[in-house]
Structure 1
Amino acid sequence: MAAETPPAQPPPAPPPRPLCRRWRRNPLRRRTDVARAWLGLGVLTAVLAVAPVAAVVVGDAAHRHYRDAARHQQQTRHLTDATLIADAPRHPEPGSDEEKKTRYPVEVRVVTREGRTRTTRAEVWPGLTAGSTVSVWITADGKATEAPLGGKEVRSRAMGWALLAAIGVALAGAAAHAVVGAVLRRRDLAGWETAWAETAPRWTTPT
């Protein structure tokens, strides 16, 4: 009675090799090795070709979006004087570095472009007392808001989206390479098990 065939042990993963070595003819080269080489070259070429295009397209679209948003904000917002209705908290310590960065929301009274008086909440310096006047940006209906986007902010946000687009293309390429590589790896293991099933019985000894 022949001994049971021992289970196939997967071969160790080959160390990383330059693409050019995967194309060299040798007895141990598999079709999947060549496929991996072409896959790596194809993904690299695709990423280098598509990433700049994606960055330009997305960056241009983002720039136009934020430019239009800035134009709309400039038309619907304006800077005006606001009068504090209540005292602002005095913390942090007056004159400290923290005070230079801290703002507190306080009820203020503003006048819209139409001459209507409105009450809103605006971020003001600490320690200001009721009746103090500060400059705030307000919308057409008298609500405190941020200043319109400037040219530097528009460019910065557009560049951020362009960078994200390029990174997204690179990540997509890396994911595709990993998935296909895993499929090829499984195919290698399946082939190894088949070959072992044919070879192992020759090494077994009858009992």
Structure 2
Amino acid sequence: MAGEIPRAQPPPAEPDPVRDAHPYVLLWQWRRNPLRRRTDRLRAWIALGLALFVLLAAPAAMYAVGDTVHRHYRSTAEHEARTRDQRPAVLVHDAPRHPEPGSDEARETRYPVEVRFTGPDGAVRTGTTDVEPGLPADSTVLVWVDAAGEITGPPLTADEIRSRTMGWALLAFLGVVLAGLAAHGVAGLVLHRRNLAGWDAAWADTARRWTRAP
């Protein structure tokens, strides 16, 4: 029908730098050409800015978080070393036997058993600790006890501090990288919607001239 504006057709697919991995295609948003839009240039600048941000911020965040975490766990280890000590404890009853005595699994398995020990205040206390399978009652084992007289774990070792520090530092690095990727994706989505809106407006104006009644 004359005067009716046809529906806008979707714009041609934008170049995909990952799919079209040609060096000229990878830089298409930077080259001067009549089809380049302002949003294409803006998207290129955003990508460059985010790439520089990630290259600078990710190592900085990794170092800052790693240093903070290392100092925290080192202080924790020093405090634990001052407030914890090993004490002999006696099994109150027999430890369970492993179904396969002498096996590799049996050597690695530990069972929780109630033990009796003397706390830092000299009082006799009871608690639960993990012991080897098959130990009879009245056997003596060593347990770590804190300042409150509770059975606890040993102080953090240097390897544990290093492992936890590296883990948190790596998480900080990945967090910055993922934040940069997310920001790039959001910016690309906003600019793509802006392109679609501009395409609809241009098509509506052009179609009105094409469909004008003679």
TM-score (norm 2): 0.90
More displaced stretch, 174-183 vs 132-141: 132-141
- Mapped partners of 2:146, 2:99: distance in 1: 30
In the TM superposition, what are the counterparts of 1:1-207 in structure 2 within 5 Å?
Answer: 2=2, 4-17=4-17, 20-204=27-211
CA displacement at 1:107 relative to structure 2:
0.5
Gaps of at least 5 residues in structure 2 are: 18-24
Q: How many residues align?
A: 207
Gaps of 5+ in 1: none
Query: After TM superposition, which residue ranges in structure 1, 4 or more long, deviate above 6 angstroms?
Result: none
CA 95–12 in structure 1, closer or farther in 2 if over 3 Å, else same? farther
Deviation at 1:19, TM superposition (A): 5.3
Normalised TM-score (structure 1) = 0.93
Structure 1 12/79 Cα, relative in aligned 2: closer, same or farther at 3 Å? Answer: farther
- For 2:194, give the aligned amino acid: R
RMSD: 1.8
Q: Contact conserved, 1:19 with 1:37, CA < 8 A, in 2?
A: no
Q: Percent identity?
A: 59
Q: Which amino acid aligns with 1:11?
A: P
Moved more, 15-24 or 82-91: 15-24
- The alpha-carbon deviation at position 100 of structure 1 amounts to 2.2
